[in-house]
């Protein structure tokens, strides 16, 4: 494959990254063009791009870092993209780069380090800081629908440790309705099988009929949600769960501000 073909193959992904990084398609494309122009003017840089995505993003990073300025995000973003852009505006530039490279662009920590000229442990620290910044900016009220008291308490501790407040706990569909009648939550953590035989699915449907909020199902019966009979949840955690898994699901659900699939 020629160098031109290699670049053309990776260009849509670089443009996506540039837009997310700068918050503007026009500004992102301008940095991508500047990167390609720099490669045309420098034979060593041009030949390095034959190594694939990593050197291409590395070249882009050098151009962007040398001329970085905060650009207001474009208006009109909707759905996941709009929500993500709102969150990204709260993250400092280096942290934003590390987060986007390792999530949106699916680079390994080592590859992101090569792109940013940093060690892998530095990248991991930047990503953790970025997630922390998102969590602080995304602090919300959480409804926990769970009929096992010990698990409910564990989730309460986890949620509050992330800086959120628990607006209520419910062991039945009726109790969930009573909590929501007082305050609509910003996030719901829900089991499926509840204490009185009622369904966590029905409880969630009651809430979504009032407002669109992100929902994370935490259940020992994931097969009940993966039948294809209804839209399958984006965020599904299987019991027994690892707290780290729930933390990651909470951060992602709040980052995108929705439970709708990303596709």
What does the pLDDT look like over 156-194, one tens digit per residue? 999 999 889 999 999 999 999 999 999 989 999 999 989
Residue 215, SS3 per DSSP: strand
Residue 142, SS3 per DSSP: strand
Residue 45: what pLDDT? Answer: 86
pLDDT, one tens digit per residue, over 55-91 is 999 999 999 888 754 444 444 444 545 555 555 555 6
pLDDT, one tens digit per residue, over 110-123 is 999 999 999 999 99
Which residue intervals of the chain are DSSP H helices?
A: 3-22, 25-41, 43-48, 53-66, 79-88, 93-102, 109-116, 120-137, 149-161, 173-182, 200-208, 243-256
Residue 70, SS3 per DSSP: coil
Q: Which of 11-20, 154-163, 225-234 has the highest mean pLDDT?
A: 154-163
Higher pLDDT, 22 or 73: 22
- pTM above the 0.75 mark? no
Query: 235 falls in which pLDDT band (50, 70, 90)?
Result: confident
Quote the CA–CA distance of 136 and 122 in Å, as a whole number: 21
Residue 67: what pLDDT? Answer: 74
Residue 261: what pLDDT? Answer: 36
Residue 72: what pLDDT? Answer: 47
């Amino acid at each position: 494959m020629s160098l031109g073909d290699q670049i053309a193959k990776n260009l849509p992904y670089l443009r996506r990254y540039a837009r997310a990084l700068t918050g503007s398609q026009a500004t992102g494309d301008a940095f991508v063009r500047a990167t390609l122009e720099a490669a045309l003017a420098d034979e060593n840089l041009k030949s390095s791009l034959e190594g694939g995505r990593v050197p291409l993003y590395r070249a882009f990073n050098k151009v962007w870092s040398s001329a970085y300025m905060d650009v207001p995000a474009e208006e009109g973003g909707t759905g996941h993209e709009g929500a993500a852009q709102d969150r990204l505006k709260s993250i400092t530039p280096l942290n934003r780069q590390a987060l986007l490279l390792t999530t949106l662009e699916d680079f390994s920590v080592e590859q992101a380090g090569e792109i940013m000229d940093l060690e892998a442990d530095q990248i991991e620290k930047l990503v953790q800081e970025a997630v922390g910044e998102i969590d602080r900016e995304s602090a919300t009220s959480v409804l926990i629908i769970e009929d096992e008291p010990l698990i409910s308490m564990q989730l309460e501790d986890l949620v509050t440790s992330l800086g959120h407040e628990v607006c209520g706990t419910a062991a039945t569909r009726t109790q969930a309705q009573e909590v929501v009648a007082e305050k609509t939550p910003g996030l719901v953590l829900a089991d499926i099988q509840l204490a009185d035989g009622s369904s966590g699915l029905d409880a969630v449907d009651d809430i979504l009929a009032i407002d669109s909020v992100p929902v994370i199902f935490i259940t020992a019966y994931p097969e009940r949600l993966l039948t294809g009979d209804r839209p399958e949840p984006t965020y599904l955690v299987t019991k027994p769960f690892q707290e780290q898994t729930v933390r990651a699901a909470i951060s992602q659900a709040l980052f995108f501000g929705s439970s709708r699939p990303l596709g």
